[in-house]
Structure 1
Amino acid sequence: MPSTDRTIRVGTINVTVRTSNRTTLDVTVTKRGDIVLRGPHTTTDTDAAALVERRRAWIYRRLTHLAETLPHNPLKHLTTGEEFTVLGQPHRLQITPDTSQQRPLTSIRDPRTGDRITLHSSTAP
């Protein structure tokens, strides 16, 4: 029988219950902070909730650890002047009109203005 997924809520925690041909229950916290409980096909929501309740302190410790150790990567917007790091080097984004003869996406190294990435406006969302 193939694995199946369903989501349950245990208190304030959303848990993905993934059942397969395994025989034991296990709970993990993914790098994205999702809580996944793996178990046999016979796993009920009550079984899953009981395990999450027993492991609640561990789950919160893992989530706290993830929040403290994840790099700070703010959401970038595709606007002229936005800075992106490419291969460890900062590059400024320049959005150009589509009439430009350049390719849709180019990287330009200019000692006066610094590295920049040029993107056609039709390519930017």
Structure 2
Amino acid sequence: MSASVYGCIVLTVMEWFEKCLKRKCTVFNFPPNRRPNVQVLSPGSVCLVLVKEGSSRKDWLFVGEFTVRSVKLVEGEEFSAYAARAVELPTAQFPKPGENSYIIEFDNIVKYERPVKLGDFTDIKG
């Protein structure tokens, strides 16, 4: 029997996803000093990308996915080594000195041909 491989859903905005595809980024950064429950992810875990689209949660879209390479908690001073491979947004800024941020290094980002609305999954409760 093999060990469990966890997956996750990362919530972001379409701007991040489009810039990430264009720039071929390989780092997803969480806002500084947050504590997302990502420590259970391991190499090979799959993260679904859910973007806030429209005014209703039902309109949010699953637009793609990526495969986890590693998960790290990095200090602001060391984040510069990852910044060129990440996308900074006003809602998810890069950590400054004295702050820290969880990052997911990933491979194989995929854009779904037909995004799926969160509202189409009637069994998912928020």
- In the superposition, the TM-score normalised over structure 2's length comes to 0.23
Higher relative contact order (CA 8 A, sep 6+): 2
Flag the structure with larger Rg: 1
TM-score scaled by structure 1?
0.23
